[in-house]
Chains A and B, each alone.
Chain A
Amino acid sequence: MNCYMNTISIIIDDQKLETDPGKTILEVCRENGIDILTMCHLKGVLDIGACRLCLVEIEGVNKLLSACTTKVAANMIVRTNTDRIKKYQRITTELFFAERNHVCAVCVANGKCELQDLGYKVGLDHIRYPHLFPQCEVDTSHPWYVMDHNRCIMCTRCVRVCNEVEGAHNWDVMNRGHQVRIISDFNSPWGESETCTSCGKCLHACPTGAIWPKAIVQGQLQKNPGMINELVEKRKMKL
């Protein structure tokens, strides 16, 4: 399997690793069992480096770079678990929770939520910033699905899966800053969408309880985000 001619060696957290060039730092970490926190990353769609959870320190680079968008290079020395990075991961997580209305106890995704998991992973026991409590809509106009903006963390995984995998481009983003919202078509109710194929991929791509099927109640949500990449891989096969 290994063609040594084409491999490069890099050091991640003091571990020397051989890997193929062209891979991202995140891919190499995951392949080697090095845990990196992510939220906007979803295997199967393009990475955008937006959640900033996967930031790593690279020797000789004065900025923190996102592991999901940075390619490995020969002799790169990467650190993923310094105190600084851990501190920033915690702040990012706190900001996620403070931004909108994340109330786990009454959320359909309770127990199946990537944001909740993230909270546990960084050891979040309280949030030091005031909750913003924005007024967010719940769009129930679609016959089968619900879009609850209260739970949305703007990872845009739904936007990318709809655009890149389904090819429908129903979802997009409007406004700026903390006013950003996911929109269906040109900001019309989801149920009136002319582009949505009701395929449900966005539901599986969503890491939280922002998009969910109507027929479930609190804590019953089942999501399968890994399905997105399986689908992408299957489509590559020539039948």
Chain B
Amino acid sequence: MNRQDLKTIIYAEKKKDETNKYKHKICVCCGAGCISSGSEEVMKKLQEEIKTRGLENEVEVIPTGCMGPCNQGPLMKFLPDYNIYQKVDCSNISTIVQSQLIEKKPIEDLLLFADSREKPFIDARDDPYFKKQLKIALKNCGHINPERIEDYLVHNGYQALDKVLFEMSPEEVIAEIKQSRIRGRGGAGYPAGLKWETVYKYVNDQKYVICNGDEGDPGAFMDRSVLEGNPHRVLEGMAIAGYAIGANKGYAYIRGEYPLAIKRFELAIKQSRKLGLLGNNILGTTFSFDVEVRIGAGAFVCGEETALIASIEGKRGTPRPRPPFPAESGLWGKPTLINNVETFAAISPIINNGGEWYSEIGTPKSAGTKVFALAGKINYAGLIEVPMGTTLREIVFDIGGGIQNGEEFKAAQTGGPSGGCIPAEHLDVKMDYESLISLGSIMGSGGLIIMDKSSDMVDVARFFMEFCMDESCGKCVPCRVGTRMMHDLLQKICDNKATQIDLDRLEELAVYVKETSLCGLGGSAPNPLLSTLRHFRQEYENRILQHD
């Protein structure tokens, strides 16, 4: 297929939309969260209901990716009015359809947040939950059917790829990404443009692009939702990266615990290949690029780039020392670009709207938006996307609806097992890379676990240490034995059997493991411990046996 053919397809699809016979569009969230609360049955029942009422020529029902407030699911959205219904079940579908489509009156009691707000917003876009957010990576999630490439095409899909192939040189693409100042969304926050440029500069006949979808932090599900809700966006980002650095092959490494994401991503690859948006001579140009999926087998350490590469090569997934970095010697010893799912999802908007546009969002050092997975003792748990620099308070109280049962906020855990806890006195911290580091935590991949007074911080540290101990690959001594020793010491403190000497040993080990471990897993494993010690030291000391 060449460029003209693509335009013809998009034109035909848009025409179909314009001359649409459908007056209403009903989006039913079919992300993994809503599916687990029964959205597939809801959708089936809804389709039956539409049919029995003879409305099938007026109403289009589409399954979509994640809409955001996951713990209010299953969610159902009526377009064009943006009436969102929460906790829909098969028994109230008939009532909703009757009122919404026949009487043209939304049922306020069933709308999103009706049970927790004084008065729900009829148009969900007015709700502060959505108003405070800015969706770039998640833009089409919840609006389009992720299993239809045509849905993505009419929403500007593959336009960025078209643009780079016909109007931009690889150098210009890299310059655009650099100008956007986007930083890797996997956790470390390395400037993506710089990484692309480094790989570009290594001359080699064979280079690779890898998409890291081995999201493993407890409580984090950003990558899963992007892959489920808009897989084509990630594919497009990978293809653009391939063009920019001179790679013709990409691998998407997705963890095996995400069957739906894998299914939809593989379907997306198939559809793109069929339309010639992947494969040889994309859109009639000399650029060829194809993507394969590799499924992770459940090891957290495989999210570390060198371990991930070993795993793709079919080896035991263990990290190796860097340098050399993957940019120089990565997959099968070739220059390799490895970025996170969310980073790739942000590429096409940057190309479409320009790097400058993106760089103006967020803070000067942390540009753009960040997707967070809100979890824990928060009223509206789910997936949000906010500009960098939004304060933790805004996220917890304006978007997240505050703490469950009106309890008091105690701490927010960011960055999963590599991150730390932010106490209540720092609620006004701006969520960007530097501010979080200055508080002893990290941005990480975007997991945000909210805790109230019932959380015991020593136990939180013990939990994350247990996670790291179990997930250590066992290659290097500090991580293999050090995490076990630290875990045992933390357990001792939790059991009220520890003394001051144990606490001193624990602190010494924490610094040792942090500085000597081979990879980022061990290097950051002491972070939850160190940050809780920094902000909640009293809780540790209260449990230490006093010897006079």
Interface residues of A (CB under 8 A from B): 48-52, 55, 63-66, 69-71, 84, 87-88, 91-92, 95-96, 98-99, 128-130, 132, 154, 156, 172-173, 175-180
**Size bracket of the B interface:** 20 to 34
Residues of B within 8 A of A154 (CB): 474-475, 480
In the complex the two chains form, what is the Cα distance from A95 to B509 in whole Å? 10
- Which of these, B301, B477, B484, B505, contacts A50 with CB under 8 Å? B477
Residue pair B469, A88 in contact (C-beta under 8 Å): no
Residue pair B484, A178 in contact (C-beta under 8 Å): yes
Residue pair A99, B476 in contact (C-beta under 8 Å): no
- 5 CB-based A-B contacts, threshold 8 Å: A51-B476, A128-B505, A173-B474, A178-B469, A178-B484
In the complex the two chains form, what is the Cα distance from A64 to B522 in whole Å? 13
In the complex the two chains form, what is the Cα distance from A88 to B483 in whole Å? 15
- Which of these, B471, B473, B478, B485, contacts A98 with CB under 8 Å? B485
Residue pair B472, A95 in contact (C-beta under 8 Å): no
What is the minimal beta-carbon distance from A18 to any residue of chain B, in angstroms? Answer: 23
Interface flag for B13 (CB, 8 Å): no
In the complex the two chains form, what is the Cα distance from A88 to B516 in whole Å? 8
For B473, give the chain A residue with the smallest CB separation: A176
Residues of A within 8 A of B474 (CB): 154, 173, 175-180
Interface flag for B260 (CB, 8 Å): no
For A155, give the chain B residue with the smallest CB separation: B477
- Which of these, A69, A87, A172, A176, contacts B299 with CB under 8 Å? A176
In the complex the two chains form, what is the Cα distance from A130 to B498 in whole Å? 13
Residues of A within 8 A of B483 (CB): 177
Interface flag for B481 (CB, 8 Å): yes
Residue pair A129, B515 in contact (C-beta under 8 Å): no
In the complex the two chains form, what is the Cα distance from A92 to B515 in whole Å? 12
Q: A70-B321, A98-B485 are in contact. Are A50 and B316 (CB under 8 A)?
A: no
Residues of A within 8 A of B314 (CB): none
Residues of B within 8 A of A51 (CB): 476-477
Mask for B56-77, Cβ within 8 A of A = 1, else 0? 0000000000000000000000
Residue pair A52, B481 in contact (C-beta under 8 Å): no
Residues of A within 8 A of B508 (CB): 91
Q: A66-B321, A88-B515, A88-B516 are in contact. Are A177 and B476 (CB under 8 A)?
A: no
Mask for B430-471, Cβ within 8 A of A = 1, else 0? 000000000000000000000000000000000000000111
- Which of these, A64, A70, A95, A172, contacts B477 with CB under 8 Å? A95
Residues of A within 8 A of B518 (CB): 49-50, 52, 66
- Which of these, A50, A91, A132, contacts B476 with CB under 8 Å? A50
Residue of B469, B470, B505, B515 with most chain A CB atoms under a 10 A cut-off: B515
What is the minimal beta-carbon distance from A145 to any residue of chain B, in angstroms? Answer: 24
Residue pair A95, B481 in contact (C-beta under 8 Å): yes
Given contacts A129-B505, A132-B484, 16 further A-B contacts (CB under 8 A): A49-B518, A52-B516, A52-B517, A63-B515, A65-B321, A70-B321, A88-B515, A91-B508, A92-B516, A95-B478, A129-B485, A130-B488, A132-B481, A154-B480, A176-B471, A180-B480
Residue pair B482, A95 in contact (C-beta under 8 Å): yes
